[in-house]
Amino acid sequence: MISESALLILELAGIAFIFAGLPLLYLLRKKGMDVFQKLNWAVVFLTFDLILFGAFTRLSDSGLGCPDWPGCYGTSNPLRAMEEIRAAEAAMPTGPVTVFKAWVEMIHRYLAMSVGVLIIIQVVLAFKQIGAQRQLAIQGSLFLLGLVCLQGVFGAWTVTLKLQPIIVSMHLILALILFSSMVWFAQRNDSKTISSKAQDKSLPIAWIAFATIALLIQIFLGAWVSTNYAVLACPDFPTCMGAWYPAMDWQNAFYLWRDLGMAKSGEAIPMTALVTIHWTHRVGAIFASTILLLLAIKAVRHSQASISIWGKAILALLALQIITGISNVVFQWPLVAALLHTGGAAAILFCLVRLSAWSDCSFFSGRDVASQRLS
């Protein structure tokens, strides 16, 4: 007889296959790419959707909508746990468990599982590839599988450790690393990514790498603001608490291993620590934006249209980030602006990885694979 735990896993797997099948069926009907290439890009865009929905889960305080993992009160969906959910909601109407929050959290998990299912299919198809790209396909897909498993562990810890800020922040960073790795892998296996002519005038990989590192650091600072609920710690702009350099508490602000809302001492985190977290993100935005702006201008001025278009995209997304970042403060953290801020950061990362296809480093550009396919 199948145990309740095994039955729960089977039910969740079935739901994940349904979620994974929808984008896959759509792409399989499109022409112009083989099945493996279509699958690669399906995983990319589903992961981007997952990042956005993960942000919505966090911003709507739905992270503990189902306080256990991987199911919801030991079931595969909130409908089967409605009695427990309504009891928790009645006991604390504004608490972490409500019917709405339970559905948000479980849909987020379904999307995450569907990404895992697609990557498993990706691994299977990688072993069926032939030619020069077979080794890359196998190694890349196995790396992505390992990364998504690690991401799943952090997803579980997010719930079991009760939204500990460092865990939630690293969950987002790992999601973006997974996303950028998927973009890189997809374009390396895409015969239409680049041409040998475009590689004659390439971008320095050092510029792209430096900009990517700066962006990831800034994203972590932003995640640290969000997971510590420090968005409104500086209620004014451009100053913070009426000063350019307000009172700071660096020790508690960046003490990583602590519970949500707690300081290093175990007491409630002081307001000065939250101000420090917010102020640091603002300063980081100046440096990251400057670096990205310089790279974008260099790309826009490039003679290759396929390069300049990504520079223009980065410029537009930078403008979006500045507008939404300021809006989060001025308009008291509106949900739409906060979601766009997260999505904009992921989109800039996408542009940087796409630009790497025209870098002067064959490891990032896929010159060896592309040239063989185009010869």
Residue-wise pLDDT for 27-36, tens only, equals 667 666 678 8
Q: Is the sign of the CA dihedral 43, 47, 49, 50 positive or negative?
A: positive
pLDDT at 199 over 60: no
Tokens coding 286: 């100046």
Q: Mean pLDDT over residues 369-374, rounded? A: 40
Question: How confident is the model at residue 28, as a pLDDT?
Answer: 67
Of residues 68 and 365, the one with the higher pLDDT is: 68
Quick one: DSSP state of residue 360?
S
pLDDT for the residue 375 = 35
**SS3 assignment, position 348:** helix
Instruction: Please enumerate in sequence order all residues whose Cβ is within 8 A of that of 222, keeping only pairs 6 or more positions apart, or say none.
Output: 281, 341, 342, 345
E strand or H helix at 121: helix 99-126
Q: Are 286 and 218 in contact (CB under 8 A)?
A: no
Q: State the pLDDT at residue 37.
A: 86
Tokens of residue 148, six digits: 């998504």
In contact, 363 and 266? CB cutoff 8 Å: no
HSE value, Cβ hemisphere, 13 Å, CA-based, for 242: 0
Give bridge partners of residue 240 from the DSSP assignment: 243
Answer whether residue 363 shows pLDDT above 90.
Answer: no
Q: Is the pLDDT of residue 279 over 80?
A: yes
Active site annotation includes 89:
no
Contact 19, 53 (CB under 8 A): no
Tokens at 344, concatenated: 């904009």
Confidence label for 342 from pLDDT (cuts 50, 70 and 90): very high
What are the residue boundaries of the structural domains of the chain, listed by start? 1-190, 195-375
Q: Using alpha carbons only, what angle is made at residue 64 by residues 232 and 46, rounded to the nearest 5 degrees?
A: 85
- Residue 46 near residue 111, CB atoms below 8 Å: yes
Mean pLDDT of 316-321: 97
Choose the weakest-confidence range: 58-67, 125-134, 185-194, 300-309.
185-194
The per-residue pLDDT for 369 is 43
Name the pTM for this structure: 0.88
Cα gap 279→245, rounded to integer Å: 8
* Distance between CA atoms of residues 375 and 153, nearest Å: 43
Query: Which of 11, 84, 89, 105 does the annotation list as catalytic?
Result: 105
